[in-house]
Amino acid sequence: MQLFVDTADVEEIRELAGTGVVDGVTTNPTLVAKTGRPLFQVLEEICRLVPGPVSAEVTATDAGTMVAEGRRLAEVAPNIVVKLPLTRDGLEACHRLEKEGIRTNVTLCFSPAQALLAARAGASYVSPFVGRLDDVGEEGMGLVADIVAIFRNYRESIRTRVLAASIRHVAHVIEAARLGADIATVPPAVLRQLLRHPLTDLGLERFLADWRATGQRIL
C-alpha cells in the first residue's frame, strides 16, 4: 500500500518526504485555509517537493466551472490530480477532465454505490472517508472493504485506485493495508506515530550503551 500525506503544510511535507515514505500528497480547502497561504504558491512548493500525485481540490459546484478550475489547477505541475466532490456535477467534471488526460480524485465518498459511480466516470482515485463515518457511528473500514472487494471483481474494467482517507490513527492505516486499499492518505502526526515503537527506543539505547562500553568507534 502506498502512503500519501494529508496536509498542505509545506514544512511538514518537506520533513516527512526526506524519509522516502511519502508517495504523494492530498490537500483540501480546509487544509489549505489552515496554512493561511495562497493556494497556488502552496501547490507549486508541494509539487516541487514530492514527484508523486498531489491532489488539489476544486471549489466550484457546477460541472462547467469545476472543469475550468481543474484545468487551471492541472497547469501547476504534471503531478497535480484534480480533486472533485462526489456529486452529480463532480462526476461529470471527472469524466470530462479524465477524457482530457487530467487525472482526478473523487472525494467525499461515503458509500460503495458512490465509489462504483466514480469508477464508471473514469476517476483515477476514489477517496472513502473512514474517520468521518466512524464519527457518526458507522464502520468506516467496512466501506473500504466493500469498495476493494467490488473493484476486485472487475479488475479488467475498473482502473480506479482506492485511496483510504480521513485516517485518524495507526490502526486505520494497518487495517486499510490488510484490506488491500491501494493507498492511505495519512495526517503527519499519524505518519510519525507509525514509526514509533517503545521497544525500538529501548533496544537502541542498550545497543549504544554496550557499544560505548567497548570504547570503539566506526568513524
Segment 109 to 128, residues that bind ligand E4P, using CB under 6 A: 127
Task: Note whether 95 and 113 are within 8 A (CB).
Answer: no
Count the Cβ atoms, other than its own, within 10 Å of residue 94. 33
Q: Which residue has the cell 462526476?
A: 91
Q: Does 104 bind ligand E4P (CB under 6 A)?
A: no
What CA–CA distance (Å, rounded) separates 174 from 179?
9
Q: Does 166 bind ligand E4P (CB under 6 A)?
A: yes
Please say which residue, 86 or 158, places its beta carbon nearer to ligand E4P: 86
Shortest CB 166 distance to ligand E4P, Å = 3
Please say which residue, 107 or 160, places its beta carbon nearer to ligand E4P: 107
Amino acid at 102: I
Q: What is the DSSP string of 9-36?
A: -HHHHHHHHTTT---EEE--HHHHHHHT
Segment 191 to 210, residues that bind ligand E4P, using CB under 6 A: none
Q: Does 165 bind ligand E4P (CB under 6 A)?
A: yes
Q: Catalytic positions, please?
A: 83
Please say which residue, 17 or 84, places its beta carbon nearer to ligand E4P: 84
Length of the chain: 219
Nearby residues of 111 by Cβ (< 8 Å), 6 or more positions away: 143
Shortest CB 28 distance to ligand E4P, Å = 4
Helix (H, G, I), strand (E, B) or coil at 212: helix
What CA–CA distance (Å, rounded) separates 166 from 131?
5
Q: Does 69 bind ligand E4P (CB under 6 A)?
A: no
Segment 27 to 46, residues that bind ligand E4P, using CB under 6 A: 28
Binding residues (CB under 6 A) for ligand E4P: these are: 6, 26, 28, 107, 127, 129, 131-132, 165-166, 185
